[in-house]
Amino acid sequence: MNFTEDKRWDLVDSVTRRVVSFGVYRQTIGDVLGELTVKPATGIPVALAVLYAFWSIFGSFAGALVTDGFMVKLFDNHWLPWLQSVWPDPDSILYYLFVGDPLADNCFEAFGMLTSGLFVAIGVVLPAVLIFYLMMTFLEDSGYLPRLAVLMDSVLHRIGLHGYAIVPAILGLGCNVPAVTATRILETRKQRFIMMTLLAIFIPCGAQLGVMLEVIPETVGLVMIYLIIGFGIFGLVLDRLIPGSNPEILVDVPPYHWPVKGNVAKKLWNRTKGFLKDAVPFVLLGILVVNVLYLAGVIDALANFFEPLFVTWFGVPKETVGPLIAAFLRKDLAVAQLSTIAMTPYQMITAVVLVSIYFPCVATFVVMLKEGWKELLAAIAVLIAVVFIYGGLIHAIGILMGVA
């Protein structure tokens, strides 16, 4: 069918008459609030308030309600005593591997695969990850996250990134695995490399945060401050060292709206399912491997070998070598292990920061490898340098303050 130009325009007119309606735009309170949340003078305080709400709800739900309220009681008063009573021969290797210390009265200290392993995975990490992803999805679907991206754009440009880098950064606070994948939203190789490296080093995952809130609640704030400062300093350094461009972005900021329940439920399920599939086997395997290494004497040998470095340079006890090995499998597990070692509060802060900035967990490692082996090797080189420089720096700060 051939149309003349006039006929085509007539057709366009008839379609638009049917489908397009015209009216007068009336600015609503939601529109103005939307504008206020991207202006720095009002937007930064709002961002502080949103982050406050985020962590407060996270701590109340995961910490006070689920873990402290129910899981500790369930695992320590029921599961652990039952397992200790039914598992035969407390002196056997199998008992040590699966149930752990026969004299332990709580699941954190038992350190068996079926005691500490299940408690950390189900009792501590799962509620933390669930509430984290729920709030993350809410911020995403309500339209706040793009505003945060606009707000953070100028700050992140100083470290070679742009506003949308806030998405992998926040995702990384849940799990570094999807966060590494999310670095693909950044335009250049330089940006992707900087973000991936900073993610692997300075952003603790939700699992680790959950365990930190559970075992060292009074030092989490200081650990986070050290990590944020490190993120900024090493971001600036990487931006200067790595060649490449840092282009501007155009962000489409949608109006504020209530998230659709079905979408929230779907996202929450997919993200939590992914976490359960990736993390739980690693937690259980992690405890098994660490216990086998302890039994074989490998951890003690490594602890003796690295003692000068750990005690002199980092200022932490040599026993932290074991948790650092466990950190490669699961960082949450490593923090749980650290909590059972006798240390001063400052040593604990240093040790937890070291666990955070030390090698990414093996799941993140695999995803980073998928992004490119050259990038992974370069990230590891940066990581080793950061661990030595920053770990020593934190020890030096502690000495200057008279607390190390």
Partner 1 sequence: MNRNCSISTIYIGLLGLATVALGLADILVWAGASPGISFGILEIAGDDFFRCAWGGVIMVFGGLFMISGMKDAGKNLQQFAKVVLGAIMVWIIAGTDIFARFCESIPAGEEAPEFFNSLAGFIGGFAPPYPPAILLLPFTLVIACFMFTWRFDEA
If one asks whether residue 236 binds partner 1 (CB under 8 A), the answer comes out as no
Element spanning 296, H or E: helix 261-296
Contact by Cβ (8 Å): 179, 168: yes
Determine the Cα–Cα distance for residues 376 and 381; give it in Å rounded to an integer.
9
- Count H helices and E strands in the chain, helices first: 22, 0
Q: Work out which of 27, 89, 262, 342 binds partner 1, going by CB under 8 A.
A: 27
Nearest to partner 1 of 48, 296 (CB atom): 48
If one asks whether residue 225 binds partner 1 (CB under 8 A), the answer comes out as no
Bridge partners of 111?
A: 100
Nearest to partner 1 of 42, 263 (CB atom): 42
Contact by Cβ (8 Å): 358, 230: no
Q: Work out which of 38, 72, 107, 149 binds partner 1, going by CB under 8 A.
A: 72
Q: Work out which of 45, 81, 90, 254 binds partner 1, going by CB under 8 A.
A: 45
- Applying CB under 8 A, the span of 1-9, 65-73, 247-255, 351-359 interacting with partner 1 comes to 65-73
Contact by Cβ (8 Å): 214, 67: yes
Q: Work out which of 7, 8, 73, 266 binds partner 1, going by CB under 8 A.
A: 73
C-alpha distances (whole Å) from 386 to each of 89, 154, 234, 237 are 46, 25, 8, 11
- Applying CB under 8 A, the span of 36-44, 255-263, 345-353, 373-381 interacting with partner 1 comes to 36-44
Bridge partners of 100?
A: 111
If one asks whether residue 56 binds partner 1 (CB under 8 A), the answer comes out as yes
Strand residue runs (E) in 150-243: none
If one asks whether residue 17 binds partner 1 (CB under 8 A), the answer comes out as no
Nearest to partner 1 of 123, 178 (CB atom): 123
Q: How far is the CB of 126 from partner 1 (least distance, A)?
A: 16
DSSP state of 256: P
Determine the Cα–Cα distance for residues 147 and 170; give it in Å rounded to an integer.
14
If one asks whether residue 154 binds partner 1 (CB under 8 A), the answer comes out as no
Residues that bind partner 1 (CB under 8 A): 26-29, 32-33, 36-37, 42, 45-46, 48-50, 52-53, 55-57, 59-61, 64-65, 68-70, 72-74, 77, 221
